[in-house]
Structure 1
Amino acid sequence: MANTATLAFEIGTEEIPAFDLKRATEQLAELVPAALDAVRIPHGDVAVYTSPRRLIAVVADVAASTEALEEVFRGPAVAIAFDEAGRPTKAAEGFARGKGLSVDGLERRDENGTEYVYAVRQVPAQETAALLPSVLRGVIDDISWPKSCRWGTTSEMFSRPVRWLVALLGDEVIPVRYAGITAGRATRGHRFLAPGPHEVASADALVDVVRGAYVVPTQAEREAVIRDGVAAIEAACGATAELPAKTLTEVINLSEYPTPMVGTFDEEFLKVPEEIIVDAMLMHQRYFPLYDADGNLTNRFVIVSNGDPAHEATIVDGNERVVAARLYDAKFFYEEDLKRPLEDYVQRLDEVVFQEALGTMRDKTARVVKLSARITAAAGIEASEMRDIARAAYLAKADLVTGAVVEFTSVQGIMGSYYAAAAGEPERVARAIAEHYRPRFSGDAIPADVIGQVVALSDKIDTICGLFAVGQAPTGSSDPFALRRAALGVLAILEETGLPISLVETIDASLIIYREAGLEFDNASVRREIIDFFITREKVALRDAGVKADTIDAVLASCIEEPMVLAARARALEAARTHEPEVFADLATAFARANNLREIGLGTGYKTAELTAVERDLSDAVEAAEEAVAAALREDRFADALTALAALRAPVDRFFETTMVMDEDAEVRANRLKLLNRFANVFSHVADFGQMAKK
């Protein structure tokens, strides 16, 4: 592109929170080209560079000016724009005014014998350098932050205070103004290693100057530096580091010049449960634990420093002191908690409010125990397992008031399992306490056995039912109690385990328990809302799995309320559409032919004695299909139900080939329509095939 230059724009700030920086990086890649395009500045590719203290966009091949433009707009026909006397009408005046012209400035052009008025505007070329100050200021304003702040005496808001701006088009400074700062050519480097200022001669030099000032300017490069450093540490130590994606993302965006280093802590702390040590390092300090060849946690960990590598010993020593303090706290709380059996902590759950209208965690515990008993009875679970389920439900929340969980909240449930085992509780009870929060997110494992599965179901369903009953259902994108996640967890457990329970009956049981506890609410409307909530979650899951929307709606039209029944039937019907098109064609054709003629008001009580041989064959086939479909649905053999329905294709085809349904004799006609009504009713128990007939 002739007469072009590179544009470089840097927003220098105080340290931006890690995840906010990640989102801002993604936004900048879209905002900059969009802003340039909006004012018709020709440009090439946009590259984005970011670190905790800066957002940089570098745009290649930015034209020195916009191109002159002729804008042509067609208006109303001349016959509408002017009256018989040739005077402009309101239509012409409004059109001209809207285009910034007078009526006299409008042109007339003939199109296939019809004249129209046209507005023609000449937009002159503009110097890019003159447009950029407002364009780049707009980019700053358009970056969206979860939280923003004000600083100094200006009214602008940003994630963190803006301290410098660099804006260069080639070697020309673009005077962008923001929050009392005017952009120049001076950037800053690493806060400690090369603070600056550092002068930038031209836009092409900005990133190199930043690199030379000890700043690794992209997320990908910083991740590579960290991974390479960790790999070197692993090789030297003969250990393996755990690098969870969330923590790694945070660490990548916490440092401008990352340097992995190794720290150690006293082996005495390894007597504390591994999960609490890992929590203290990963969640609180952003250190990566190291494991030996057998997968056992070691007393070494990886630090990612943003300091001067020349002072590694001092940096490591400081971080080891921090870890020691956190692990000492963990060890202290753990040992103090063990001085009492887990059961003793249940009484203290009165100190923790679950939800203002729903009582304390002790109230919730009582409800979960009752609901677990109902689920256990409905599922026909053995008496020995019933006792373990009741015990696990009673103890599941007890660790919430222990010192370790109060200090390290992410290990709730896990610490309870340790305390339960220490108190002599059965192994399955202890494991259920640890796992009853599962699945915590999409793709997470469900509890390992039926003890944890029942407690998890009871806990999640109690939460959902209670919050719906007090008007705290999710709204739009707001779901402060994570009820959607809880519902997906319930569905995942039911899907993977096949527990023989009714979710609808379990919802009813939960609402009964709430009413018995004195909570007042409209049972019918709350019940309907909760069932619809679960059905909606299941519909989303099915669509994500590739089931067509009309397949789902067809099954729902048969008055299905159970999500697992919906899932099984929708999948079977979708499979018939996809893998057995001939079966689906038979189903759809058979239903459509009868459904087009049936009259529901006539009922299904036809006179058998008046049937012809072909009509009797159809009647016998319908009767057999009714029995086969009913048996298949009772036993959840939905594919067999579809096969039974498809078998009706042949007799109904013969019926239509040989029979005039709309006979002139009213009694004959009514008898045949009643037969078709009964035929169509067989389908209604399976799905509304009319929903898919057009497909």
Structure 2
Amino acid sequence: MSNTHTLAFEIGVEEIPAFDLDSARKQLEKAVPEAFQAARIPFQQFDIYTSPRRIIVMGYGLPEATEALREEYRGPAAKIAFDAEGNPTKAAIGFARGKGLTPDDLERRDEGGVEYVYATKEIPATPIISLLPGILSEFITMLKWPRSCRWAAYRDYFVRPVRWICAMLDDQVIPVTFAGAVSGNTTMGHRVLAPGEHVVDTAERLIDVVRSAYVVPSQAEREQIIREGVAAIEAETGCKAELPAKTLLEVVNLSEYPTPLRATFDEEFLQVPEEIIVDAMLMHQRYFPLYNAQGKLTNDFIIVSNGDPACNATIVDGNERVVRARLSDAKFFYEEDLKNPLESYVEKLDAVVFQESLGTVRAKAQRLAALAGHLADDAKLSEQDAADLKRAAYLCKADLVTNAVIEFTSVQGVMGSYYALASGETPQVAQAIGQHYQPRFAGDAAPDTVVGKLVAFADKLDTICGLFAVDQGPTGSSDPFALRRSAIGIVGMLEAGLPVSLDAAIDFSLDEFDRQGVTFDRNAVRAAVVDFFVTRTKVILRDGGASADAVDAVLAAGVTEPAIIIKRTRALEEARAGMPEVMADLAIAYDRANNLRDESLGIEVDATLFQGEESELDFAIDAVSAAVPGLLVAGDYEAALKQLASLRGPIDAFFEAVMVMAEDEALRSNRLRLLNKFVSAFSGVADFGKLAKAAR
């Protein structure tokens, strides 16, 4: 493209929150090309740069002006557009108005002997310099932020106050204003290393000027610098750093000139549970802990400085003092908590509200202990495992009122496990307490033991049932209590073989709320909770590739246990893949029988009225009906499907040889009863009518 131009647009702000900055970059990567395409401005490419104090759009290969266009639109036939006297009708007037023209501007064209009217619009070329102010201003206002603010007396909103705007097309400043900021040809350097204004002589020089002012404008480049610095420290220490993706992204977007540095804390703090130390560093200070070759936490850690490298020693010392204070607090809280057994904290849960209408966390602990007893019986646990389950369920929330968890909230559950061991609880109780929030999200690991899984199951189910009981279940895309996530965790554990009935557990959980005096419509809430789990199971199956008709066919049989729904759906899919013709024919036959049958006649047939094919079908139905229930109880759904598939031959022969709607009323009624009996053989297995549409 000859005679092309470069665009530079920078929004300078006070420090933008890290995750908001990442979101803005992603929004602009999509929105910028779309905006220029909509304005009919061709381009070679756009690059988006971000740092904590700036958002930059660089455009390359822009033309002098938009292309002139000639647009033609065919309208109605001329005989409809004009009357016999040649006057325009409402059709012509409306068509012309829609194109910004008058009826006199319309042309008539003959097409194969039929005249049509055409509207022709000439769109002249427009210098892009006249379009850019509006486009660039829109980039400021279109960005979506979780929270915005106003400043001074301005009524405009942005994530943080806008302090400068650099907007240039080559060496020409593009006029853009926002909340008192007026565009110019200057940018701002690093706050410490190159403070103040820096002149940008041409648009293509903006990124070079920013770099010369000690700002690394690319998020990807800053991440690479941090990773390389961390790798160098790992090589120096022989340790391995933990770089959680979320914390790393935050650190990348907290610095404009990152420098990874090694720091240490006193070894005495390693006596504090590792999780508290890691929480203090990662969550509170955004430091990266270092682990030795055996995977044990060391007293070395990594900070990422945004300051002057000449002052690294001072920066390290300052950060070490911050960590020392945090870990001193953690050590004190931990030692204070250990002075009392874990059980002593349960009583204090009366001061913590679980939910306004559902009472305190202590009431929840009592419900969990009761539900744990039911689950222990249902799972047929040993006496010791049952005792551990009830104990863990009763104690699992006790650490919420301990000093350490109040200060370091992310270690709830984990601290409970430490305090449980220190109080003399069994290792299994301690482990179950430590893992009872798992799985926290899709793909997260479930607790390691059956006891741990059942404590997690009870905790999640109690929350779901309780919130549904007080009408606080999810609505649309709103799920403030993350109940869908909890349901997915429960379904995942059941699918993996947790040996309990969800339906029975729901009943028991609702009974506990009733016993504690919570008022609700039990039948309506139960139906809503069951449907909630069924819906989650459907979503899981469909996300996993299961076909919608197979899922619907299984659900139509009235199954509500997630593990059974999943197992049967997959078995049905496998049966269709393994014997597609048989399953397709059987689905069509089922649909045909289902459409003809008359439920009011029942399934009691008169064998004396049978012809040969009727007798064979009746015998086959009896054999299948006798075998299928036992197979379902045994969980052998695949064998049950094969039993049903064996009916294909007899039902095909029946329809081939027998006139169902015979003139003789006795014969007709008997044959309809036989079809009722045929359909009833599928009861509790699947509604093959749901598969018939796909089979056809």
Give the corresponding residue for 1:244.
244
Q: Could you give the per-residue CA deviations for residues 505-526 of structure 1, whole angstroms, max 9, x where no partner exists?
A: 1111111111111111111111
Q: Does 588-597 or 138-147 show the bigger shift?
A: 588-597
Give the corresponding residue for 2:65.
65
Give, in whole Å, the separation in 1 of the partners of 2:249 and 2:575. Answer: 44
Q: CA deviation at 1:649?
A: 1.0
Native 8 Å contact 1:551 1:570 kept in 2? yes
Give the corresponding residue for 1:297.
297
Native 8 Å contact 1:511 1:523 kept in 2? yes
Identical positions, percent: 60
Give the corresponding residue for 2:664.
665
Give, in whole Å, the separation in 2 of the partners of 1:204 and 1:551. Answer: 58
Give, in whole Å, the separation in 2 of the partners of 1:148 and 1:112. Answer: 61
Q: Does 337-346 or 572-581 show the bigger shift?
A: 572-581
Native 8 Å contact 2:495 2:562 kept in 1? no
Alignment map for 1:539-558 (pairs within 5 Å): 539-558=538-557
State yes or no: 1:209 paired with 2:247.
no
> What is the SS of the residue equivalent to 1:278?
helix
Native 8 Å contact 2:216 2:222 kept in 1? yes
Give the corresponding residue for 1:169.
169
- After superposition, the CA RMSD in angstroms is 1.4
> What is the SS of the residue equivalent to 1:58?
strand
Q: CA deviation at 1:583?
A: 4.4
State yes or no: 1:429 paired with 2:435.
no
Q: Does 411-420 or 196-205 show the bigger shift?
A: 196-205
Give, in whole Å, the separation in 1 of the partners of 2:575 and 2:74. Answer: 53
Native 8 Å contact 2:259 2:305 kept in 1? yes
Q: Does 424-433 or 90-99 show the bigger shift?
A: 90-99
Give the corresponding residue for 1:531.
530
Give, in whole Å, the separation in 1 of the partners of 2:289 and 2:459. Answer: 32
Q: Could you give the per-residue CA deviations for residues 273-297 of structure 1, whole angstroms, max 9, x where no partner exists?
A: 0000000000000000011111111
TM-score by length of 2: 0.97
Give, in whole Å, the separation in 2 of the partners of 1:691 and 1:671. Answer: 26
Q: Could you give the per-residue CA deviations for residues 396-421 of structure 1, whole angstroms, max 9, x where no partner exists?
A: 10000000000000000100110111
Give the corresponding residue for 1:264.
264
> What is the SS of the residue equivalent to 1:477?
coil
Native 8 Å contact 1:576 1:583 kept in 2? no
Native 8 Å contact 2:559 2:684 kept in 1? no
Native 8 Å contact 1:71 1:121 kept in 2? yes
Give the corresponding residue for 2:414.
414
Give the corresponding residue for 1:347.
347
Q: CA deviation at 1:567?
A: 0.8
Give the corresponding residue for 2:490.
490
Q: CA deviation at 1:82?
A: 2.8
Q: Does 574-583 or 427-436 show the bigger shift?
A: 574-583
> What is the SS of the residue equivalent to 1:684?
coil
State yes or no: 1:7 paired with 2:7.
yes
State yes or no: 1:188 paired with 2:188.
yes
Alignment map for 1:437-586 (pairs within 5 Å): 437-496=437-496, 498-586=497-585
Q: Could you give the per-residue CA deviations for residues 108-140 of structure 1, whole angstroms, max 9, x where no partner exists?
A: 223333333322221111000110000110111
> What is the SS of the residue equivalent to 1:168?
strand
Q: CA deviation at 1:103?
A: 2.0
Number of residue-to-residue matches in the alignment: 694
Q: CA deviation at 1:666?
A: 2.2
Native 8 Å contact 1:589 1:649 kept in 2? no
Q: Which runs of 5+ in 2 are unaligned?
A: none
Q: CA deviation at 1:3?
A: 2.3
Q: Could you give the per-residue CA deviations for residues 343-395 of structure 1, whole angstroms, max 9, x where no partner exists?
A: 11000001111000000100111111111111111222122211111111111
> What is the SS of the residue equivalent to 2:635?
coil
Give, in whole Å, the separation in 1 of the partners of 2:681 and 2:207. Answer: 72
Give, in whole Å, the separation in 1 of the partners of 2:285 and 2:123. Answer: 57
Native 8 Å contact 2:494 2:562 kept in 1? no
State yes or no: 1:605 paired with 2:600.
no
Native 8 Å contact 1:8 1:206 kept in 2? yes
State yes or no: 1:219 paired with 2:219.
yes
Give the corresponding residue for 1:48.
48
Give the corresponding residue for 2:76.
76
Q: CA deviation at 1:196?
A: 3.4
Native 8 Å contact 2:43 2:59 kept in 1? yes
Q: Does 84-93 or 222-231 show the bigger shift?
A: 84-93
> What is the SS of the residue equivalent to 1:154?
coil
Native 8 Å contact 1:590 1:648 kept in 2? no
Give the corresponding residue for 1:228.
228
Native 8 Å contact 2:14 2:162 kept in 1? yes
Q: Could you give the per-residue CA deviations for residues 20-60 of structure 1, whole angstroms, max 9, x where no partner exists?
A: 11111100111111111111111121111111111111112
Native 8 Å contact 1:176 1:182 kept in 2? yes
What amino acid does structure 1 have at the position aligned with 2:646?
A: A
Q: CA deviation at 1:596?
A: 4.3
State yes or no: 1:86 paired with 2:76.
no
Q: CA deviation at 1:528?
A: 1.1
Native 8 Å contact 1:77 1:116 kept in 2? yes
Give the corresponding residue for 1:98.
98
What amino acid does structure 2 have at the position aligned with 1:463?
A: T
Seen in structure 2, the aligned counterparts of structure 1 residues 601 and 107 have a Cα distance that, compared at 3 Å, is farther
Give, in whole Å, the separation in 1 of the partners of 2:9 and 2:301. Answer: 38
> What is the SS of the residue equivalent to 2:532?
helix
Give, in whole Å, the separation in 2 of the partners of 1:94 and 1:140. Answer: 37
> What is the SS of the residue equivalent to 2:194?
coil
Give, in whole Å, the separation in 2 of the partners of 1:252 and 1:482. Answer: 28
Q: Does 36-45 or 319-328 show the bigger shift?
A: 36-45
Q: CA deviation at 1:592?
A: 3.5
What amino acid does structure 2 have at the position aligned with 1:464?
A: I
> What is the SS of the residue equivalent to 2:184?
coil
Q: Which runs of 5+ in 1 are unaligned?
A: none
Native 8 Å contact 2:582 2:648 kept in 1? no
Give, in whole Å, the separation in 1 of the partners of 2:637 and 2:582. Answer: 13
Give, in whole Å, the separation in 2 of the partners of 1:108 and 1:155. Answer: 53
> What is the SS of the residue equivalent to 1:183?
strand
Give, in whole Å, the separation in 2 of the partners of 1:187 and 1:107. Answer: 54
Seen in structure 2, the aligned counterparts of structure 1 residues 680 and 112 have a Cα distance that, compared at 3 Å, is farther
Give, in whole Å, the separation in 1 of the partners of 2:81 and 2:351. Answer: 77
Q: Does 76-85 or 1-10 show the bigger shift?
A: 76-85
State yes or no: 1:618 paired with 2:617.
yes
Give, in whole Å, the separation in 2 of the partners of 1:283 and 1:112. Answer: 75
> What is the SS of the residue equivalent to 1:547?
coil
Native 8 Å contact 2:393 2:455 kept in 1? yes
Seen in structure 2, the aligned counterparts of structure 1 residues 158 and 579 have a Cα distance that, compared at 3 Å, is farther
Give, in whole Å, the separation in 2 of the partners of 1:538 and 1:217. Answer: 45
What amino acid does structure 1 have at the position aligned with 2:625?
A: E
Give, in whole Å, the separation in 2 of the partners of 1:325 and 1:477. Answer: 42
Native 8 Å contact 1:392 1:433 kept in 2? yes
Give the corresponding residue for 1:689.
688
Alignment map for 1:316-355 (pairs within 5 Å): 316-355=316-355
Native 8 Å contact 1:24 1:143 kept in 2? yes
Native 8 Å contact 2:428 2:451 kept in 1? yes
Give, in whole Å, the separation in 2 of the partners of 1:567 and 1:657. Answer: 36
What amino acid does structure 2 have at the position aligned with 1:114?
A: V
State yes or no: 1:134 paired with 2:97.
no
Native 8 Å contact 1:586 1:646 kept in 2? no
Give, in whole Å, the separation in 1 of the partners of 2:547 and 2:213. Answer: 55
Give, in whole Å, the separation in 1 of the partners of 2:402 and 2:632. Answer: 49
Give, in whole Å, the separation in 2 of the partners of 1:603 and 1:108. Answer: 71
Give, in whole Å, the separation in 2 of the partners of 1:536 and 1:144. Answer: 31
Give, in whole Å, the separation in 1 of the partners of 2:682 and 2:517. Answer: 43
> What is the SS of the residue equivalent to 2:693?
coil
Q: CA deviation at 1:71?
A: 2.1
Give the corresponding residue for 1:388.
388
Give, in whole Å, the separation in 1 of the partners of 2:627 and 2:10. Answer: 72
Q: CA deviation at 1:77?
A: 2.8
Q: CA deviation at 1:80?
A: 2.9
Native 8 Å contact 1:583 1:643 kept in 2? no
Q: Does 540-549 or 117-126 show the bigger shift?
A: 117-126
> What is the SS of the residue equivalent to 1:387?
helix
